[in-house]
Amino acid sequence: MTFARRYLPSLPSLLALEAVDRLGTASAAAAELALTQGAVSRQLKVLEEQLGIPLLIRERQRLRLTPAAQDYVREARHALSILSAASLTLRANPTGGSLSLAILPAFGMHWLAPRLSRFAEAHPEVTVNLSTRLRPFDFAESRFDAAIHYGRQDWPGVDYLRLMDEEILAVGAPGLLPKPLSRAEEVMGLPLLQLDSRTGDWGRWLAQHGLTGLRPPGMLFDQFATMMQGAIHGLGLALLPMFLIGRELAEGRLVPAFGGPVRALGSYYLVWPKQRPERAPLASFRAWATVEAGAGASGVNHDQRVP
């Protein structure tokens, strides 16, 4: 946001005009502001010269603002109130404020959300606001302080904190898979489901089982949540992250198709813009996320629903 700086009044001038409007005389305004009457008059003259219009009507011993100046002071008084409240908030809560975080839906719901209560307990001064974004964006043109990113370290202009590597498992509904497949290539004979942002996953999965150069087609989904529901209802086999399907495997709504989990191509990161000064809420969240990521890497699991 830019301002027409030449029209921004000095705070002493603005306070002098507001006091004169409220009290009616320069002497009363001077007493309230702990200034001399001459100093108040000089501040009013500076403001009139800066704005290029008369602001006051002098009537004997009293000063009255012009109608236009009265409208100006009404708006200025509101701005002064906002500035005062912001200063009080900062003084009372210097490390607090809001944190706007862009999240990926599945990761946000199944990894981040179950842990956020611990952050809220440790940092009640910070309010976390979550919004979904599926792909990288330009932080300079957004209101976000940070984001959750999946993939490689290929988001320009950001710093990274690795939260978790991803392991995926080929799964399907029990009705589609009455028993596990005996060979990896048998998936080619079944309908496959895949994310539209990860159309190469089945080819990489097959390559990890010794079958290179294949890129099988499949029904496309834009989010893991809908693809998982498709798999549960028998639409086809899906490659799904282990952190997402722990309950579905435990309850038998999904069963492994072949083999165990395999390492996915990407990892999950917390990212934030390099060039923007770091605010206290982001610093608190980043320190907390570092601990959470380390706990996950060491096998500590605070929420049994999230493997």
Residue 230 has pLDDT above 90, yes or no: yes
**CATH number listed for the domain at residues 97-164+267-297:** 3.40.190.10
- pLDDT confidence band for 295 (50 / 70 / 90): confident
Checking if the pLDDT of 273 tops 60, the result is: yes
Give the pLDDT confidence score for residue 304 in this predicted structure: 31
Check the CA dihedral 13-14-19-20 and report its sign. Answer: positive
pLDDT in tens, 172-189: 999 999 999 999 999 999
CATH no., domain 166-264 = 3.40.190.10
Instruction: State the average pLDDT for the chain.
Output: 88
pLDDT value for 305: 30
Q: Where are the domains of the chain?
A: 7-92, 97-164+267-297, 166-264
Residue 285 near residue 278 (C-beta atoms within 8 A) = no
d(CA 105, CA 268): 12
3-state secondary structure of 165: strand
> How wide is the angle at C-alpha 26 spanned by C-alphas 23 and 30, nearest 5°?
90
Spell out the CATH class of 7-92.
mainly alpha
Q: Same fold for the domain at 97-164+267-297 and the one at 166-264?
A: yes
